[in-house]
Structure 1
Amino acid sequence: MSELSTKKQMFTSQDIDNIKWFWNLYLKDKAPWLGLVLGMVSIQAVVYQQFLALTENGLRVIFEEGSLGQLVMVCFVVFLLFATRALLSYAVPRLSVWLASNAVRKMRQDMIRHLLRLDLAYFEKTKSGDIILKLVNQVDGLSSFVGQGTVGAVRDFLTVVVVSGYLIYKSPLLFAAAIIVIPVLILLMVAVSAKIKEIQQKAENAFGNYMSGIEEMVNGMRTVKISGQESRERERLFEATDGIRDLTINLNSAQALFPPSIDLVSAFVYVLVIGGGGYMVLQGGSGMDAASIISFLLGLVILFDPMRLLAGFFSQLQASLILLASVRNIYNEPIKITDHENSVSEFDKQGDISFSNVKFAYDPQHPLFADLNIVIEGGKKTAIVGATGSGKTSILSLITRLYDVNEGKITIGSRDIRNIKVQALRDAFSVVAQDIVIFNASIWENIRYIAPNATEEEIWAAAEAAEIAELIRARRDAPLGPKGSQLSGGQKQRIAIARAFLRSAPILLLDEATSALDQKTEKRIQNALLRLSENKTTIIVAHRLSSVVTADKIYVLDRGKVVEEGTHEELMATQGLYATMYASQKQDYT
């Protein structure tokens, strides 16, 4: 099938597959309740048919001089019918929204569960605004559409079917004349559907970029303020809002084609029925009288209102199919870092960590490690240093299986880490990094985050060891602001160290743990880190060489290769790259 013909389809094969997926996972188990909703909306549809029949009878009572009692009875039954419809009009939305909300809640929870299982690579290539858009806006849009839009469309469809059936029963010829223009509407809906999908897709992308732009602005507000770039940020976001406005207008313009089309068709049909029906009455012999024509016209009025709503539903459906496809795409993201059938939980956490002929690249066109071989001895302190981009932090990412090697292997105690269950492997590590996640809660809660079941005594012991207990007593339960904005860099580092003390894992990873600190604060943090690293396999990744001089072994990386290795004294004696870097930094300190 050509690309052009695919675009002209109202429902592509992918759309149908997505609908089946949503039904099977989130609605199928609610089939009995959905059946109840269908029964109730069917009754609502029958109410209109009965109303038409009673109206025709009521008109005959008036025109043919029937009794007052008959007229009262007709009025009473009509009132009863619409009271029933009113009751159902309350019950149906309540039940349908309850069903849709539960289905979408389950989908949102599944998305969160799946999202947290995705590899780090997904988050490093995906804008956070796009993720937030899927989890919040798009899922909410689906909830509203499924809970109210779809049920309303089913009610309108059944109303069209039931009322049409009644009108056919009354006069097949007149009804056939009335619906002769329906194919025109169908062709219009098919043509406009492709345009709506295209615009909706662009709108979702624009909203994702806008949300990402807001997040970038908020996260970088300190830099924005200091550099005086408020006007540039304003223009950048204004441009995004202009794009969203234009797409919204275009989308509304495409959707707005449906109602006037229905109105024009309605006008044509009314004229046709009045003229044709009137002629049939005047000629006689058709079985139609004035009451029949009036009720037939009233039936058309009732018929075209739900048809107008159905047209609007189909325009919304095209937009919702884009939302559904976007939400489902998150499930299509591959998960590479997983356990396999023979993975184990037990391994020698005190053993040596070895890189054997490791090849790795984030991008196949730009390999990072071509043939990396290093040994990190268990129970000792090993440092990895080098210039920015040399691969220091990537080594930690590979050890913890945030990424897998392309070739070669990494072992802990002679066991390939790919044969260890991911959770068991990562439970063996404590991390103190430069980039620390701080929540807008108390220091106490931030420390406990790493071990929710820890006792008060354990948390206080960790806080004392990290030299942050006094700050906890001073601040008490005061929140720390977004991302810990009310703390200094050193205070954030001590929270990270307290977490590491609380976790007390056998392998300690220090990733640029003091690079952002002044010398005085760094010395205080270093004392805490020395206590933390006792009797642990410690791996220090650092650009600042003053933090690695006590390491048992130092690896010097340059462009993904080990160019030097040894103790601080040995490396200084060789007068190579390490000695040059150390001398340069020492000069900067003085």
Structure 2
Amino acid sequence: MKLNPLARSKNNSKLPFFTKQDIENIKWFWDNYLIQRTPWLFAVLGLILVQGVAYQQFLSLTESGLRVIFDAGVISDLVQVCAVVFGLFAVRGLTSYIVPRLSTWLASSAVMELRRDLIEHMMTFDLSYFDRTSPGETILRLVSQADGLSQFVGQATVNAVRDFVTVVIVSGYLIYKAPVLFGTAIVIAPVIILILQYVSHKIKMVQREAENVLGAYMNALEETVNGMRTVKISNQEKFEEARLLQSTEGIRDLQIRLQAAQAVVMPAIDIASAFAYALVIGFGGYMAISPAYDIDGAAIITFLIGLVMVFDPMRNLAKFFTQLQAALILLDGVNSMNAIKPTIRDRDDPKDSFDTRGEILLRDVTFAYSPESPLFDRLSLDFPAGQRTAIVGATGSGKTTILSLISRLYEIEGGEITIGGTNIRDIRISSLRQAFSVVAQDIVIFNASLWENIKYVRPESTDEEIWEAAESAEIADLIRARGDLPLGPKGAQLSGGQKQRIAIARAFLRNAPILLLDEATSALDQRTEERVKRSLARLAEGKTTIIVAHRLSAISDADKIYVLDQGRAVESGTHEELLALGGLYHGMYSTQKGEYR
């Protein structure tokens, strides 16, 4: 599976801790989803500052308590110190409850808005995006990566801010109390920085690979589930099992590599910290013994406790920065979806109204799905207003593509398409597509009731209108029989003919002035086809109708028929006129005529 956005930097060159793209992604997320929550963020920061000050005051009180024990020996003073220490930790405990609750709410709300915006943006994508992009990649962006980002922002980042504040406040106190001793302890800082620089590049590389492999796994899983009928008929369960297991093994291996890269940090920092503790104990003990320094045992013990309060958050911060490298890849993946720009867009000041009952013309239309395989080269067709025009031809000749171009699902590269004399590029896209009722061969059925599936195309419809559409499509009896039962994923509980009748019922309900029929009766038996053809004939009355069909029996009564061959209109006329020509249409009819006896 191709995952271009995640593969932006697949070379092995050394990456900086924050690349230019990382900074742009962070700025995008901040400007769009966090800056408006600044008051709440300051509230969280205020609570975190309270936690840091509580630790600093604990150190100060600890030193006082130790002196009470070692020097004064007054029980009442010791009780007072203990009571204040308990109060400090009670305050810290309360803030420790409020901060994660508040931060998780803020992060979840921000990511919810992010998902909302991405879904809204995704709906503007060209159809070509979905042709070339696997569903697994889109699901990865909107579900896995967005959820990982939410957890990182709401938990890891807030914990890191808390740890940073603790380090700064406690370190400031330790510097104030014993600057020379603190300078001795801080010698490990360059070690931590070097370790982080060493692992950050590797973590980014592994995380990119992990996201690609996860996307491939999700895509393979979706393909297997959707194609389970074929899998079982072909007796290929073992093959699919092996394919999915191979993907899961790849995920496992990459997770192990990622953990191995991150695991270097903690033990290295622990060793460096042990070295710093040894220096402080040795040099601090010497300072306490030597008359040259104004420091006592209580101060040294308090300083060591303070170092614990500094080094433990520093370890967490180091771990956070390794997690940050992985989170930056998630953010890049999410933002890469936001960066996609649709090519099919409304022009400035588009038209909302046009002659929907006018003639549809294609003039010198050029189109290709890819530059290597052009489909249409200066194709010209006309579809008279209020008439039934059919398009036939071999598979791959471009029949369905013409319907997609007329409804502007794809953009033509040359020429023009007009409806009632108005270029479709000048029409607002939503207004243009509102003019079509479509019965297509690739029918989308939702896991809802028959009733809801028909109502989908016009939610404001009345019950009477839905029943009328269902009766016209010969599916009303099935609605009565099934009631509100869901149809299963992708309508798995329906036959092909039943699915097609849902599509026909939708077309009746929508009742738009232009009717597009793409293999509208291909999944129906001959008896049902005749009934539905009569219904479609009633639906098409007074409408401009374009029919794409493989069965010539479905279009023999069309007002005009185009025969396509390799993207060119090689014949046109009525059924009788085309038979008389003795050309391609005649050959197709002769091949199929056994159906009509």
TM-score range relative to shorter protein: over 0.9
> Among 506, 518, 533, which residue is 2:540 paired with?
533
> Among 172, 176, 184, which residue is 2:179 paired with?
172
- In 1: Cα distance, 2:515 partner to 2:386 partner: 10
* Aligned position for 1:73: 80
- In 2: Cα distance, 1:104 partner to 1:449 partner: 28
- In 1: Cα distance, 2:59 partner to 2:91 partner: 16
Q: Within the alignment, does 1:183 sit opposite 2:190 as a pair?
A: yes
Cα 1:589–1:129 shift into 2, 3 Å: farther
5 Å matches for 1:26-425? Answer: 26-425=33-432
> Among 18, 25, 32, which residue is 1:25 paired with?
32
Structure 1 unmatched ranges of 5 or more: none
Q: Is the 1:510–1:539 Cα contact (8 Å) retained in structure 2? A: yes
Deviation at 1:349, TM superposition (A): 0.7
Deviation at 1:522, TM superposition (A): 2.5
* Aligned position for 2:447: 440
Q: Is the 1:345–1:424 Cα contact (8 Å) retained in structure 2? A: yes
Q: Is the 1:439–1:482 Cα contact (8 Å) retained in structure 2? A: yes
Cα 1:171–1:4 shift into 2, 3 Å: farther
Q: Is the 1:6–1:12 Cα contact (8 Å) retained in structure 2? A: no
* Aligned position for 2:554: 547
Deviation at 1:588, TM superposition (A): 6.1
Deviation at 1:515, TM superposition (A): 2.2
- In 1: Cα distance, 2:132 partner to 2:427 partner: 27
5 Å matches for 1:480-499? Answer: 480-499=487-506
Deviation at 1:281, TM superposition (A): 1.3
Matching residue's letter, 1:215: E
What TM-score comes out, normalization by structure 1 length? 0.98
Q: Is the 1:44–1:85 Cα contact (8 Å) retained in structure 2? A: yes
Q: SS at 2:241's partner residue?
A: helix
Q: Is the 2:403–2:516 Cα contact (8 Å) retained in structure 1? A: yes
CA deviations on 1:214-243 (whole Å, 9 max, x unpaired) are 110111000001010000000100100000
Deviation at 1:546, TM superposition (A): 1.5
- In 2: Cα distance, 1:463 partner to 1:8 partner: 61
* Aligned position for 2:5: none
Query: Alignment RMSD, CA only?
Result: 1.4
- In 2: Cα distance, 1:101 partner to 1:574 partner: 68
Q: SS at 2:98's partner residue?
A: helix
- In 2: Cα distance, 1:309 partner to 1:464 partner: 67
- In 1: Cα distance, 2:225 partner to 2:410 partner: 29
Deviation at 1:3, TM superposition (A): 10
- In 1: Cα distance, 2:257 partner to 2:118 partner: 31
What TM-score comes out, normalization by structure 2 length? 0.97
Q: Is the 2:191–2:272 Cα contact (8 Å) retained in structure 1? A: no
Q: Within the alignment, does 1:9 sit opposite 2:16 as a pair?
A: yes
Matching residue's letter, 2:302: S
Q: SS at 1:360's partner residue?
A: strand
CA deviations on 1:484-503 (whole Å, 9 max, x unpaired) are 11111111111111110110
Deviation at 1:440, TM superposition (A): 1.1
Deviation at 1:589, TM superposition (A): 6.6
- In 1: Cα distance, 2:189 partner to 2:13 partner: 23
Cα 1:84–1:369 shift into 2, 3 Å: same
Structure 2 unmatched ranges of 5 or more: 1-8
- In 1: Cα distance, 2:450 partner to 2:200 partner: 53
- In 2: Cα distance, 1:187 partner to 1:353 partner: 68
CA deviations on 1:428-478 (whole Å, 9 max, x unpaired) are 000001111111111111111111111111111111111111111111111
Deviation at 1:527, TM superposition (A): 2.4
Deviation at 1:70, TM superposition (A): 0.5
Matching residue's letter, 1:67: V
- In 2: Cα distance, 1:461 partner to 1:545 partner: 29
Q: Is the 2:188–2:273 Cα contact (8 Å) retained in structure 1? A: no
Q: Is the 1:430–1:500 Cα contact (8 Å) retained in structure 2? A: yes
Cα 1:582–1:132 shift into 2, 3 Å: same
CA deviations on 1:29-75 (whole Å, 9 max, x unpaired) are 11011011101001101111111111111111101133101100110
CA deviations on 1:176-221 (whole Å, 9 max, x unpaired) are 1111121111011012111111111111111111111111011100
- In 2: Cα distance, 1:560 partner to 1:310 partner: 62
Q: Is the 1:551–1:567 Cα contact (8 Å) retained in structure 2? A: yes
Matching residue's letter, 1:232: F
- The alignment of Structure 1 onto Structure 2 pairs a total of residues equal to 589
* Bigger Cα displacement from structure 2, 230-239 vs 162-171: 162-171
Q: Is the 1:359–1:372 Cα contact (8 Å) retained in structure 2? A: yes
Q: SS at 1:188's partner residue?
A: helix
- In 2: Cα distance, 1:548 partner to 1:28 partner: 60
Q: SS at 2:105's partner residue?
A: helix
* Aligned position for 1:469: 476
* Aligned position for 1:516: 523
Q: SS at 1:117's partner residue?
A: coil
Cα 1:389–1:38 shift into 2, 3 Å: same
* Aligned position for 2:6: none
Q: Is the 1:195–1:254 Cα contact (8 Å) retained in structure 2? A: yes
Deviation at 1:17, TM superposition (A): 1.0
- In 1: Cα distance, 2:13 partner to 2:36 partner: 32
Q: SS at 1:441's partner residue?
A: coil
Matching residue's letter, 1:82: F
Matching residue's letter, 2:131: E
- In 1: Cα distance, 2:22 partner to 2:373 partner: 38
Q: Is the 1:8–1:190 Cα contact (8 Å) retained in structure 2? A: no
Deviation at 1:5, TM superposition (A): 10
- In 2: Cα distance, 1:161 partner to 1:326 partner: 33
- In 1: Cα distance, 2:484 partner to 2:523 partner: 27
Q: SS at 2:370's partner residue?
A: coil
Q: Is the 2:388–2:547 Cα contact (8 Å) retained in structure 1? A: yes
Matching residue's letter, 1:313: F
Matching residue's letter, 1:274: I
- In 2: Cα distance, 1:8 partner to 1:70 partner: 57
Matching residue's letter, 2:94: L
Q: SS at 1:224's partner residue?
A: helix
- In 1: Cα distance, 2:320 partner to 2:367 partner: 51
Query: Percent sequence identity over matched residues?
Result: 62
- In 2: Cα distance, 1:504 partner to 1:81 partner: 71
Q: Is the 2:500–2:523 Cα contact (8 Å) retained in structure 1? A: no
Cα 1:3–1:130 shift into 2, 3 Å: closer
Deviation at 1:525, TM superposition (A): 2.6
